[in-house]
Structure 1
Amino acid sequence: MTDRRLTPNSGRIAHVSLKGQVNVPLTTGEPARVAAPVTDLCPEPGALRDRQVIFGAEVTVIDRQDGWSFLRAEADGYCGWVVDGALTAPAPATHLVHVPATHVYREASIKRGEVMRLSLGSRLPVLEEDAKFARIAEGYVPIQHLRPITRNDTDPVAVAERLLGTPYLWGGNSRDGIDCSGLVQMALTLCGRSCPGDSDLQRAAFGDFLPAEEPPRRGDLFFWKGHVAMACDADTLIHANGHTMNVAYESITACLARIAAAGEGPFYGVKRPA
């Protein structure tokens, strides 16, 4: 069965990659990028979100309808509808926000007011920079909050730890709110590793489960039905979870026991992303 989340077909128009598989008109799509700090990616116009996309994300617009755009997010292939006002013309990203969050200021001064807040992972087309600020089309960002897009982080756990305390949000993908799979995707993506958006897709993407007797290592992924967490070491994990309603550390032993006692779904095992 075709996975709707990864199928670039609005039901009216489909991407040319589906040639021979669908009976609707085909298009190569229109490149765009996300200009809102964060916006919901929905299965239908006006529906509840599946996931979110954040500032600077590169997308391909496949269909438009009543103020909504059907698109494919190029980072992970996730498809859905976003409001048209969240999109703008494409521009190559040069820098990435590498702190939990930052502000875009009206002028090159922290005292002149901000125009928006951007999350960790936001991708910025910087037009010019000096010792204090990087200028983008929307304003000025503190230069110390950015890193070049070409330089990756090296430790996914350290990336996840930047979001400690972030509120839990189903389908969330930003500092404003994030869920378990969004946290894992952020951690791996900023380290240059491809990662799907949902926990079931992540479970399918990362090879075989480790033998039950093998102790977990930093960066290993724990999978339950509908949930994923990342090991910090052999005893502790980090996850965005509905128990504490934020990104938090938890004892591996306590977490396994708590979820089993709640009957929230089976524990599948541990995987080690290559």
Structure 2
Amino acid sequence: MTTTMTDRQITAPHAVLLEEPRPGVPQTSEMIRGERFRILEERDGWLRAENAFDGHVGWLPPGTAHAEPVAPTHRVRALRADLHPAPTHKAPPVGTLSFGSLVRLDGRTENGWAATDDGLWLFAGWLEPVEAPAAPDHVATALRFLETPYVWGGRSSFGIDCSGLVLTAMAAAGTVSHHSSGLQRKDERLGVWLSDHGRDVAYQRGDIVFFPGHVGIMLDATRLLHATVFTMSVVVEPLAEVAKRAEINGVRRPAPGSTAGA
């Protein structure tokens, strides 16, 4: 066992963070292409990593692709973006990146395609500069993940869980929280606290509603958008139906501006 504090960067399209350094244990979170992490410990090829994005700590399996950090130039704004070996849609994709992935372009462009620093090509319309303004409507961002498969510990368009959906949507609006519904419930950055039980709330679009071990975002005054094991996907359901399965134990309202478009 060795202990280091090395900064690295994920070069795989996405990478799981596991609870313990061995196969078959629960995934606790996920990192996506371009995110930086610190190696806190190494054990038989397993890396205990702290994600610089949200501070989450978990174990990266051996063989996870990573490299020395480079400054990204662009972010994937599409839900998913295929990597091609040539600047044409006819070249079969060799990989796929999730929403929010970070890439460094090498300056080459051709027919609406842009080259990455590892020699692959992305459709330029899927990208935005890293300095692009935040997307203020976290509800609109979360809606893009409708029907995405539910994956425990997921936070990408390949698979996502309830707190991963809230984390991703709010981060796109400029507020990075935690990949944990329990920690999100306590996080004042996610908005003002409205209620401990939700019974006295006049719900609005964008409200974040908490349950024991679960969280979702109000689409409007009556419907909840959430990633749920009940359907194993991201769905919209009447809040009243969800509350029959689990009791509401908190409501936060993000600051005005993160619900633009309501």
Q: TM-score, normalised by structure 2?
A: 0.87
How far is the alpha carbon of 1:230 from its aligned partner? 0.3
After TM superposition, list the pairs within 5 Å mapping 1:221-260 onto structure 2. Answer: 221-257=208-244, 259-260=245-246
Q: What residue in structure 2 maps to residue 36 of structure 1?
A: 12
| CA–CA distance in structure 1, aligned partners of residues 79 and 156 of structure 2 | 9
1:172 equivalent to 2:154? Answer yes
Q: Which amino acid counterpart does residue 170 of structure 1 have in structure 2?
A: W
Q: Which residue of 1 aligns with 2:254?
A: 273
Find the counterpart in structure 1 of residue 80 from structure 2: 101
Find the counterpart in structure 2 of residue 17 from structure 1: none
- 1:58 paired to 2:36: yes
Query: Which runs of 5 or more residues in structure 2 are unaligned?
Result: 256-262
Match of 1:20 in 2: none
Q: Distance in 1 between matches of 2:248 and 2:153?
A: 21
The Cα of 1:273 is off from its aligned counterpart by 2.9
Q: What is the rounded CA distance, in whole Å, between the counterparts of 1:94 and 1:273 in structure 2? A: 29
Matched, 1:210 2:194: yes
Residue 24 of structure 1: aligned partner: none
Q: Distance in 2 between the 1:129 and 1:158 partners?
A: 32
CA distance in 2, matches of 1:193, 1:210: 19
Where 2:82 maps in the other structure, the secondary structure is strand
Q: State, as a whole percentage, how many aligned pairs show the same letter.
A: 33
Give the number of the structure with larger relative contact order, counting CA–CA contacts within 8 Å between residues 6 or more apart: 2
Deviation at 1:52, TM superposition (A): 1.0
- In the alignment, the residues of structure 2 paired with residue 187 and residue 156 of structure 1 have an alpha-carbon distance, to the nearest angstrom, of 5
Shift of 1:62: 2.1
Does residue 1:149 correspond to 2:130, yes or no? yes
Which residue pairs with 1:135 in the alignment? 115
Q: In the aligned structure 2, how far is the partner of 1:222 from the partner of 1:86?
A: 36
Give the conservation status (yes or no) of the 8 Å contact 2:18–2:59: yes
What is the distance in 2 between the residues matched to 1:85 and 1:41?
10
Work out whether residues 15 and 64 of structure 2, in 8 Å CA contact, stay in contact via their aligned partners in 1: no
Identify the residue that residue 88 of structure 1 maps to in structure 2.
Answer: 67
Normalised by the length of structure 1, the TM-score is 0.83
Number of equivalent positions: 244
1:241 maps to a residue whose letter is T
Paired residue secondary structure (2:50): strand
Superposed displacement of residue 175, structure 1: 1.1
Q: Secondary structure at the match of 1:209?
A: strand
- Superposed CA deviations along residues 169-209 of structure 1, whole A, max 9, x for unmatched, are 11111111111011111101111112111111111113653
Segments of structure 1 that go 5 or more residues without pairing to the other structure are: 1-10, 14-26, 261-265
C-alpha deviation, 1:220, in angstroms: 1.1
Check whether the contact 1:221–1:271 (CA below 8 A) recurs between aligned residues. Answer: yes
